[in-house]
Each structure stands twice: as C-alpha cells, then as structure tokens.
Amino acid sequence: MTTDIRTPPQSAKGSPADDPQTGTPDTAEESLGEATSDASLERTVIRSAQIGQEIADDPGRFRVLTGDRPTGNLHLGHYFGTLANRVALQRRGVETFLVIADYQVIADRDGVGPIRERVLSLMADYLAIGLDPERTTIFTHSSIPELNQLMLPFLSLVTDAELRRNPTVKAEAEATGGRPMSGLLLTYPVHQAADILFCNANLVPVGKDQLPHLEQARVVARRFDERYGRVNPDRPVFRAPEALLSGAANLLGTDGHKMSKSRHNTVELGMDADTTAAVLKKAVTDSDRMITYDPVARPEVSNLVLLAALASDQDPVAVAAQIGDGGGGALKKVVTEAVNEHFAPIRARRIELAGDPAYLQQVLARGNATASEVAQRTLDDVRTAMQMRYT
C-alpha cells in the first residue's frame, strides 16, 4: 500500500478508539461513511497529533504497517510524502512492517510487468534512504501465504455492497472505462485489512483519502471479534488500528499535474545529477520573474519552491525571497542544486546496493521469514477462535 497503507500493535492505552466494543459505528456503511465526514476527520486529526506525542513518550507501544506497489521506480513525491517519514519513525524507535504489495499489481493490470526488477529496485531505494532491515521488516505479499489466507475469513465479514462503496474501489472501477472489474480489485480493501491485521499493526500512516481503507480494517477486526470470538477472553484477536495522518507536502509533477509514474513527470530517486537537471529544466513555471511562494495563485512556481525548501530543509517563503526576481531560470537552478545535494549520498548508496542483488535478496528473504512467522501465529489464533483446529 502506498498504502501507505499500506500503506501500524497494542493500541494506545486509554483510547476508546482502540476498544473493539466501543467507539465504533454499528454497521460498515455508517463506519465508512463517517470515515470521511468533517466531524470524524477532525477527531482523527486530533487523535493523530496525540499519537505523535505518545510515540515520543513510548515508541514501543506501536507497530506500523505501510508499503508500496512495485509498479515503477520511486520518485521525489514518494520520498517527501512517505519514505522520509518511515525513516523518522524508525529512528524514533517504532517497529515497522513494510509490505511490497506485489499481488496488488495485478488488481488492475493484465500482467505483472518486470516485477522482479521493480521489487529489487524498491529494496535498493528503501535501504539507500536509511531503512534498517534490523528494525524494519520488509516483505512481499506473495511470500506470505498465511497473510493471504486471512482473506477467506475476512471476506465472510464484508458484503459486496460495502466494498463497492469504498472510494478507491469506485474510483478505480471508473478509471477502467467500462472494463469489467476484477475480483481482486473489488476486494482490495479486504486485502489491505489483511496487510494491517496479520501483524497486529496498530498504526497506519495514511493520507485523508485513505481513511476509508483503514476504517474497513477496523470493521473487519470488530466483526471478527463479534462473530468468531477470541482466543484470550481478555482481548480480541485483532486490535483496532489507528491513523497517523501525514503532514507531508503534496508535490506536483514537473508538468504541474499530480506527480505520477504513469505521467512521466517525476524525478526518480535513482536518477543521476545530470538527468535530474534535465528533467527539472523542463518544469513548468510562469512568466512572472519575481519568485513568490503562493500555492493557490502560482501552483507550479510554488511547487518548485517547496521542493527546493524540502531538499534544503528551509522555509519555502525564505527560499522564494532568496531567489527574488531571478525568474524561472534561477528557481530551477536552486531546485536542481538542492535536490542533487540532498540525494547525492542516497544515490551513491543506491548504486552500491543495486550492484549487489544477492544482498538485496538476502535482506528480503530475512524479512519474508520474519513476516511469515508473525503471520503463522496470527493464523493459528484465527483458527483457534473459529474452532478450526482439529489436531
């Protein structure tokens, strides 16, 4: 999940949201509808801020689940949007499970493409930016059959109508242009629930548009408890995960539209300095030579200012003031220098990692083994709760 769902263990103590018997709407329709309401969003924002403080006080109370689909190379939007935050959480002592969601690639595509190369590329990116395999468990969907087996009981807890109401499912279905929707795409929210719940993640870094997916996982956890019961009478099999809302900036692509691998408007993490300069040189600006930071009136210029600010750890208003009336050319020069300086050590490390695929495979195998052990324990609890242990 870019997920970042994908896009999270023991829920924060004292929070009603963590009790599967309280603070949860009675139906998935009400729950998923409320997930995007203004009042619910305000509560989520407040709770997310509280979680930030609780992480500072006791990071060991949390386990994060997040991840990405291996559909292409990671870019600056990924880095400043989610990747840097994963490293920050790791440094604060929060245990993280990071799924490379290879099965989700085929949810809306006819084939897997060069998936092996893309998985290893993700591994190189993850390790190059500072994710530590000793503290972050990196694994692939296809390597954890116990995780995917949770889909069967989870699917018994939701209806097709509830799935079709999910905003992402609706949007993806519309984007197919009338082409029949695959069963995997329809059940995408349930697969994400399995991602989160298999490892008892209790914290999921998400954007506001991903809250319905997280709420679906909470619904699945509650319904499993109500329908199938518990192994330990004092606690449910699955704990209710909470959202850690991202405060990261939403960067635009070089063409002024949403940054997207499919639009080819990105600066990839693996690009060298010269390629980065060539890409940024083509970035859209405007005719006003005075550089200001005004995201509403001047989105393209402000986007480049923001990118320079993020890469140099400065305030965007201050960056704009430094450029002054230098125009688009000066702005692009500042952005290029800031980006290339920031990513120089990451790119050097990435080249080393990409040149040692055996090491990347070793790290992934170790992560798969850890995730599989966790998933097997969870599946054992599920079978026990469902009275399906026969020996």
- For 211-243, what is each residue's pLDDT tens digit? 998 999 999 999 999 999 999 999 999 999 999
- The radius of gyration of the chain's CA atoms, rounded to the nearest angstrom, is 22
**What pLDDT score does 293 carry?**
97
As a whole number, the mean pLDDT across the chain is 89
Dihedral (CA of 7, 268, 331, 308) sign: positive
Query: What residue spans define the domains of the chain?
Result: 16-250+357-385, 270-354
| 28: confidence class by pLDDT, cuts 50, 70, 90 | very low
Dihedral (CA of 359, 129, 55, 7) sign: negative
Same fold: 16-250+357-385 with 270-354? no
| 94: confidence class by pLDDT, cuts 50, 70, 90 | very high
CATH superfamily of 270-354: Tyrosyl-Transfer RNA Synthetase (1.10.240.10)
Residue of 184, 287, 295, 193 lying closest to 239 (CA atoms): 193
| 26: confidence class by pLDDT, cuts 50, 70, 90 | very low
Q: Is the pLDDT of residue 29 over 60?
A: no
3-state SS, the chain, equals: CCCCCCCCCCCCCCCHHHCCCCCCCCCHHHHHHHCCCHHHHHHHHHHHHHHHHHHHHCHHHCEEEEEECCCCCCEHHHHHHHHHHHHHHHHCCCEEEEEECCHHHHHCCCCCCCHHHHHHHHHHHHHHHCCCCCCEEEEEHHHCHHHHHCHHHHHCCCCHHHHHHCHHHHHHHHHCCCCCCCHHHHCHHHHHHHHHHCCCCCEEEECHHHHHHHHHHHHHHHHHHHHHCCCCCCCCCCCCCEEEECCCCCCECCCCCECCHHHCCCCECCCCHHHHHHHHHCCCCCCCCCCCCCCCCCHHHHHHHHHHHHHHCCCHHHHHHHHCCCHHHHHHHHHHHHHHHHHHHHHHHHHHHHCCHHHHHHHHHHHHHHHHHHHHHHHHHHHHHCCCCCC
Q: What is the pLDDT of residues 258-287, one digit of tens each?
A: 888 778 899 999 999 999 999 999 999 999
Task: Specify whether domain 16-250+357-385 bears CATH 3.40.50.20.
Answer: no
Whole-number Å distance between alpha carbons of 204 and 63: 9
| 171: confidence class by pLDDT, cuts 50, 70, 90 | confident
Indicate whether this model's pTM tops 0.85: yes
Token pair in block for residue 293? 């930071």
| 34: confidence class by pLDDT, cuts 50, 70, 90 | low
**What pLDDT score does 306 carry?**
96
**What pLDDT score does 39 carry?**
85
Average pLDDT over residues 378-387: 97
Residue of 221, 195, 229, 154 lying closest to 384 (CA atoms): 229
Whole-number Å distance between alpha carbons of 224 and 204: 20
Q: What is the pLDDT of residues 188-216, one digit of tens each?
A: 999 999 999 999 999 999 888 889 989 99
Separation of first and last alpha carbons in the chain:
36
Which of 72-81, 241-250, 319-328, 361-370 bottoms out in mean pLDDT, i.e. has the lowest?
241-250
Average pLDDT over residues 317-329: 97
